[in-house]
Structure 1
């Protein structure tokens, strides 16, 4: 039987049920470590997690200091990359890795200019995203290399790699 970490046990404790796909790590006692993230999002999701983090570190050396944020019981832990404004936030869900990217006015214009270059799945996500005063908040589920490329292209619009 696979070993379980404190976050699995904590999530199950209230209802006795296993977490649902996408549930967040919500044990607020401490930010999750890499082992906890791997166990929570699964091996495939963790490979994408590592590749995205590595891409950010390589493409933006010394610019971002990732910060774990606790958003409460429903939102759980997220890993935010930010300099002066938000770059992206990694959302480790149960068996699901997602990345949140906020596209401001300038990025939305760039997205629209390239509308027919983007994958249809991303355009649909963009079109369905609610617009807020600070921009469109896109939450992209990352389960393939194509999804990962979408995320890196979106954040590259916000800030070109060095």
Structure 2
């Protein structure tokens, strides 16, 4: 079976990136500027907000760690203590998050099944379940997607007690 190649070739012969392409230069992990340029200005705001939110609500808990997954998976930024909390995957003009939902998290998700946005429930239902849990990949392209991920992470691990009551927190699912 032949497959048409839909890659766009620039005048200089270089292949132009397509939406969803990963950062695959394995020589060094990308810095903040490279990630911002790769995912684009609008999406980089969501990237920064999620990273800041994790730092604010889980201070000192996670040390973000860049992982190289090969030429197909590229670079990803994992937040982990003993188990993975969330992995952020910068992609061309977007980014995705990977949240592994263990048994307890799946029970909590199911208890609130009809409160979540339908798009998230469909992602959850379509996600494959492995022995270590359900691997849920959520593409972040809007504030709603970002808040869904924040709620999933709160479900996975409640934030540490916080003295600043005016801080951003995920909106309540009961308000939907």
Secondary structure at the aligned position of 2:114 is classed as coil
Separation (CA, whole Å) in 2 of partners of 1:20 and 1:137? 24
Which residue number in structure 2 is paired with residue 59 of structure 1? 57
Write the deviation string for residues 58-79 of structure 1: whole angstroms up to 9, x where unpaired.
Answer: 0000100000000000000000
Equivalent residue number for residue 35 of structure 1:
33
Q: Please give the secondary structure, in 1, of the residue aligned with 2:18.
A: coil
TM-score (norm 1): 0.90
Report 1:102-121 matches (<5 A): 102-121=100-119
Whether 1:75 aligns to 2:73 is yes
> CA offset at residue 20 of structure 1?
1.5
Which residue is 1:131 aligned to?
129
1:21 paired residue number: 19
CA RMSD across the alignment? 1.1
- TM-score, structure 2 as length reference: 0.83
Aligned twin of 2:174:
none
Shift of 1:16: 2.4
1:79-109 deviations in whole A, cap 9, x for unaligned?
Answer: 0000000000000001111111000000000
Deviation digits for residues 100-141 of structure 1, max 9, x if unmatched? 100000000000000001000000000000111111101101
Q: Distance in 2 between matches of 1:46 and 1:17?
A: 23
Output one character per residue of 1:3-55: Cα deviation in whole Å (capped at 9) or x when no partner.
xxxxxxxxx8xx72211211110000000000000010000110000000000
Give the SS at the match of 1:139.
strand
**Alpha-carbon distance in structure 2 between the residues aligned to 1:102 and 1:141:** 14
Rg bigger for which structure? 2
Aligned length: 149
